Amino acid sequence: MATPAASSAPLIEKHTIGYVPPEDRHGKVRDLFTLWFGGNIAPLPIVTGALGVQLFHLNLVWGIVAILVGHLVGGVLMALHSAQGPQMGIPQMIQSRAQFGSLGALLVVLIAGVLYIGFFASNIVLAGKSLHGVVDSVPVPVGIVIGAVGSGIIGIIGYRFIHVLNRIGTWVLGIGIVVGFGYIFTHIQTDDFLTRGSFNLSGWLATVSLAALWQIAFAPYVSDYSRYLPADVKVSSTFWTTYLGSALGSSLAFIFGAVAVLATPVGMDTMDAVKMATGSIGPLMLVLFLLSVISHNALNLYGAVLSLITLVQTFAYRWIPTAKSRAVISTIVLLACCFAAVGASKDFIGHFVDMVLVLLVVLVPWTAINLIDFYAIHKGQYDIQSIFQVDGGIYGRYNPQALLAYAIGIAVQIPFMNTPLYVGPVSAHINGADLSWLVGLLVTSPLYFWLANRDTSYRRRMMGGKLASSL
C-alpha cells in the first residue's frame, strides 16, 4: 500500500528516532520481503550455516531440516516485531521505553547498540577479506576501508535508499544463489556428499538454535524498516512479507554454506569451499556476496546510530536530532570501527561471534517482554508523547515488573547456556547444545504477562487511554 508521499519522499532520510507523521509515510509492504530476503544472502549467514555440518557433524538432510526449523521458529518472533513498525511509527529501541521506562530501557538500548557496532565491524573485516580474495592487489586494510565507506554512504542516506538497493539485490542475489546451487550439484567433488556426518540430537539442537538466534538477532531493529509504511497497513501483511523474506533468504544462505562444504574436501574454510565448489562462476559469486555485505552492513550502521541517538536523547530530551546529526554520528562510528577492524587480531570475527552469543542471552527476554506488552497487554495502543518525555510520562522512568521479568529471564538461561565465557551444566550434559534462548522465551513471556496484569499503578490504569495516533 502506498501513499502520495511515496513519490515525493526525499532520498536522504530526514527523520531519526522521532515519530513519522502520516504525511511522511510511504513505501509498499512488499519492500519488506526484498529487504530481508536480499539482505540475508551474504557470507556471514553462509559461514554460519556451514557450522551444522562442520562443527556439529550433521549430514546434509538433517542439517537442512535443522536450518529450516530454526529459521521458521525464530522468524516468527522477528516478524512480530516488524509488524509493530507501521502502528507505532518509531524505531524499535525507543519504543522499549513503553515497556521498561525511560531510564529502565537504557541497558537494552546500549546492548543493542554494541551488537550493531560489532556486526558492522566484523562485516567490514569480512568485506576487506572478500575484496582481497577477488582482487589480490587490494590489501585487506584497504578493502576494510572501502567496505566501510560503501556501507556508510548507504546508511547515511538512510531508509529509502536501503530499500531500493535491496529490491535490486533480491533479484541479483536470488538468481545468483540459484545458479550457484545448480553449479555445485552438477560439479560435486566428494564421494561422501550425502553420507558425511549423521544425525545426533545435540548437533541438531545446536544447529536449530543457531538458525533461530540468527532471526532473533534482527529483533531489536527490524521495525525500524517498517515504520514508514502507512499506519493502515494490515498487521498480517507486514508480518508475512517480513517473515517469508527473512526465513527464505536466511535458509537459502545457511543451506548454501552446508552444501558448499559437503561438496569439497574436509577441513576447508567455508568461503574457500564456496569458491572451489562454484568453480568457474566462483569469482562472480564472491563479487555478489561482497556487494551484499556492503549493502546489508548499512543496516547495522543505521541501527547503531539510532541506538546511540536514543541513548543521548534520553538525557537531552529537548534535542531534536536531524539528518545532519545522524550523518555526523554515522561518520564517527564508521571511523572508530575502521580503526578497530584494521588493527584487530586475525580472529576478529571469531571473537565477535563469541560476543554475539553472550549478548543474545540478554536480548531474548527483551524480545519476550516487548512482544507480550505490545500484543497481549497494550494491544498496540501507546502514548507516543510519553515515550519521548524525560520522565517517561505515563510509563515512568522505570517499570519494576518489566525489569524483574527481564532479570529472571536472564537468570533462568544460565544453566542452558553455551558461550565462550560459560557453559551451563544442562548444556554440557547434552554435548554443548545451547537451549538458553528457548528457556528464556518460555519463562519470561508468561512471567511478564502475570506481573503486568498485577500492576495497578497509574501507568497501567492509563493503558489504552491514549493511542499511538495521539500525535
Q: Which helix (H) or strand (E) holds 431?
A: none
> pTM of the prediction?
0.86
**CA terminus-to-terminus distance, the chain:** 22
Contact 319, 312 (CB under 8 A): yes
Rounded to the nearest integer, the mean pLDDT of the chain is: 83
Compute the average pLDDT of residues 264-273. Answer: 86
What per-residue confidence (pLDDT) applies to 134? 77
What per-residue confidence (pLDDT) applies to 6? 47
Q: Which is more confidently placed, 344 or 249?
A: 249
Domains and CATH numbers, the chain: 5-470 (1.10.4160.10)
| CA pair distance 158, 155, nearest whole angstrom | 5
Residues 6+ apart with CB under 8 A from 67: 49, 52, 207, 211, 251, 254, 255, 258
| CA pair distance 260, 252, nearest whole angstrom | 12
| CA pair distance 50, 18, nearest whole angstrom | 40
What per-residue confidence (pLDDT) applies to 467? 43
3-state secondary structure of 165: helix
Report pLDDT digits (tens) over 126-168. 788 778 877 888 888 888 888 888 888 887 776 677 777 778 8
Contact 340, 411 (CB under 8 A): no
Biggest CA-to-CA distance, the chain: 68
Of the candidates 158, 17, 26, 12, which has an alpha carbon nearest to the alpha carbon of residue 90?
Answer: 17
What per-residue confidence (pLDDT) applies to 468? 42
Report pLDDT digits (tens) over 406-433. 999 999 999 998 877 788 898 888 777 7
Distances (CA, A) of 229 to 25, 105, 384, 405: 5, 25, 17, 32
Confidence of residue 16 (pLDDT cuts 50, 70, 90): low
What per-residue confidence (pLDDT) applies to 337? 82
Residue ranges of alpha helices (H) inside 43-105 are 43-54, 60-82, 84-88, 92-95, 97-100
| CA pair distance 350, 20, nearest whole angstrom | 38
What per-residue confidence (pLDDT) applies to 461? 45
Instruction: Write out the three cell numbers for 250.
Output: 536466511
What per-residue confidence (pLDDT) applies to 310? 83
Which of 183-187, 243-247, 295-299 shows the highest mean pLDDT? Answer: 243-247
What per-residue confidence (pLDDT) applies to 22? 83
Contact 155, 298 (CB under 8 A): yes
3-state secondary structure of 233: coil
Compute the average pLDDT of residues 116-122. Answer: 81
pLDDT of 13 over the 70 cut = no
Compute the average pLDDT of residues 333-343. Answer: 80
What per-residue confidence (pLDDT) applies to 466? 46
What per-residue confidence (pLDDT) applies to 150? 85
pLDDT of 215 over the 90 cut = yes
| CA pair distance 147, 126, nearest whole angstrom | 9
Contact 102, 96 (CB under 8 A): no
Residues in the chain: 471
What per-residue confidence (pLDDT) applies to 456? 53
How many CA atoms within 13 Å lie on the side-chain side of 256? 30
Q: Which is more confidently placed, 241 or 271?
A: 241
What per-residue confidence (pLDDT) applies to 2? 43
The alpha-carbon radius of gyration of the chain (Å, integer) is 22
In eight-state DSSP terms, residue 197 is S
Of the candidates 429, 342, 412, which has an alpha carbon nearest to the alpha carbon of residue 139?
Answer: 342
| CA pair distance 459, 112, nearest whole angstrom | 26
What per-residue confidence (pLDDT) applies to 464? 46
| CA pair distance 448, 374, nearest whole angstrom | 12
Compute the average pLDDT of residues 364-374. Answer: 94
Report pLDDT digits (tens) over 435-462. 889 999 999 999 999 998 886 554 444 4
Contact 337, 124 (CB under 8 A): yes
If phi > 0 it is left, if psi is from -120 to 50 it is alpha, else beta; for residue 269 that is beta
Place of cell 515497556: 99
What per-residue confidence (pLDDT) applies to 393? 86
Packing angle, helices 235-262 and 270-277, rounded to 10: 80
Report which residue type is found at 10.
P
Residue ranges of alpha helices (H) inside 135-158 are 140-157
What per-residue confidence (pLDDT) applies to 448? 95
pLDDT > 90 in the chain, percent? 28
